[in-house]
Structure formats: structure tokens, C-alpha cells
Amino acid sequence: MTDKHKKLTAWLAGFVFVLFFVLVAWRIGVPMVRFVSQPQEFRAWVDAHGFGGKLFVGLVILQVIVAIIPGEPLEIGAGYAFGTVEGTLLCLIGIAIGSTLVFLLVRKLGVRLVEVFFPVEKIRSLRFLQDSQRLNRLTFLIFFIPGTPKDLLSYFVGLTDMKLSVWVAISFFARIPS
């Protein structure tokens, strides 16, 4: 394959990837957020499904993977439906699973896609990526601040040399304030 074909393939793959996310967000994410944004109805649904209501974690996982779906309505709905402690734990579990899946997916496929657009040497030359302690602290800080685009940043972290165990700890504990 020539470089021109590689770039065209990468652009096409990127377009399909973004289009897929937009379609999932529109067809699943928007109705999901609307449903969770109606606290009484959501709580009734959770109560009617008993332990099955805990499958709410799957919605959180989907929200993390499809990063353009806003997470705040899910977090607020979880607090209302499950209570503060259980809602927080269910959200954090879903976030940890979703973040781990994104991290592993980017580790597997992301570097090849990114290096079509940016030379690996250029990415690796960024100073904060060279120092793992600095990268870990910066990532923790960004994830600790409510309102930052954490799910989108999850796609970037998989391109770094951060260890999976560190990533899981950061994505679980640093998101507690949110």
C-alpha cells in the first residue's frame, strides 16, 4: 500500500468511526439521556427491574465509549435512583470498565491510525509524555476537575506509555468529584 492509500484508508476509517459514534449518540444516547433526565420515571424503572436495574452500569459503559454522550445526566439519575453511595459506585464501576475498554482499544488500534497523521516521533517528543510521573499527575489533575472532557481524553491516554493499572486507578478515583 502506498502512503497515499494509507492516508485515504485512515481518513475513511476515521470518518466511519466518527459517523458510527454520532449515530449511536443520536439513536441511543439522546433517548437514554432523556430517560435518565426524568428522575421519577427512571427511579420507577430501576425499582421495577430489581437487581436488573443495576444493569444501568451498561449505560455508563456505553456513555464512556461513545464519548460525545454527556455523562452528567446519568450520574445525576444514578444518584436519584440508587442513592448517593450506590449511585456513585455504579457510575464509577461503569466508568472504570468503559475507560479500560477505550484504553485497550486505543492501545490495539489507535497508534497505527494516529501515526498516519502524525509521526510517532512527533507524538513521543512531547515532553510531558516522556516523564511518566508528570503524565500521571497531569492526567489525574485533569480527571479530578469536574467538567473537563474526560471521556474524550480517554482516547488520548491509550496512546501514551501509561500502565493500564495506573490508568484504571486514575479513571476510577480522580472522577469521584464529578
Closest CA to 70 of 124, 147, 167: 147
pLDDT in tens, 131-178: 788 889 989 998 898 878 888 788 788 888 889 999 999 988 998 887
Instruction: Convert the chain into a string of H (helix), E (strand) and C (coil).
Output: CCHHHHHHHHHHHHHHHHHHHHHHHHHHHHHHHHHHCCHHHHHHHHHHCHHHHHHHHHHHHHHHHCCCCCCHHHHHHHHHHHCHHHHHHHHHHHHHHHHHHHHHHHHHHHHHHHHHHCCHHHHHCCHHHHCHHHHHHHHHHHHHCCCCCHHHHHHHHCCCCCCHHHHHHHHHHCCCCC
Q: What percent of the chain is predicted at pLDDT more than 90?
A: 17
* Rounded Cα gap, residues 19 and 49, in angstroms: 33
Residue 98's pLDDT band (boundaries 50, 70, 90)?
Answer: very high
22 CB-near residues (< 8 Å, 6+ apart):
68
Average pLDDT, the chain: 81
Mean pLDDT computed over 116-120 = 59
* Rounded Cα gap, residues 63 and 75, in angstroms: 11
Q: According to the model, what pLDDT value does residue 111 have?
A: 67
Q: According to the model, what pLDDT value does residue 33 have?
A: 74
Q: What angle do CA 112, 138, 164 make, to 5 degrees?
A: 50
Q: pTM above 0.85?
A: no
Q: According to the model, what pLDDT value does residue 128 have?
A: 59
Higher pLDDT residue, 15 or 122? 15
